[in-house]
Amino acid sequence: MAEVVITSENWEEEVVNSDVPVLIDFWAEWCMPCRLVAPIIEELAKEYEGKIKVGKVNVDEEDELAMKFRIMSIPTIGLFKNGKMVGKLIGARPKADFVRFIEKYLNEDTSQKEESLEVEITYDNWEEEVVNSDVPV
């Protein structure tokens, strides 16, 4: 399955009402790291066909979506279930990182789980919560 161009107009249909999780590449034409990631995202779309939907959001054209999901750096790869972002990766990375990211969320039931985005950072949990975090802190 080819990547789907996601816009504000088709967001509800393509992401919120999707039967499968949606991996979205937030990118821009001028972004060189985005261009490096693009072929990897294309490969993932083919390899995970039927398990996930892969979409692309051009942040220059869809600034409302970028603001809604607080996209501050690109490329940002977000994984959505039931229209909610359940995880994201920022920056150009090797394919193995994206595979681990997808597999983590495919094998996890987030539909019933409401997870707080706030975590108290202490000296004891600094490394676990900040240094080793797979989401921006």
Residues known to be catalytic: 31, 34
- Terminal CA-to-CA distance of the chain, rounded, Å? 33
CA–CA distance, 98 with 135 (Å, rounded to integer): 13
How far CA 102 is from CA of 7, 53, 77, 127, in Å, comes to 22, 11, 10, 23
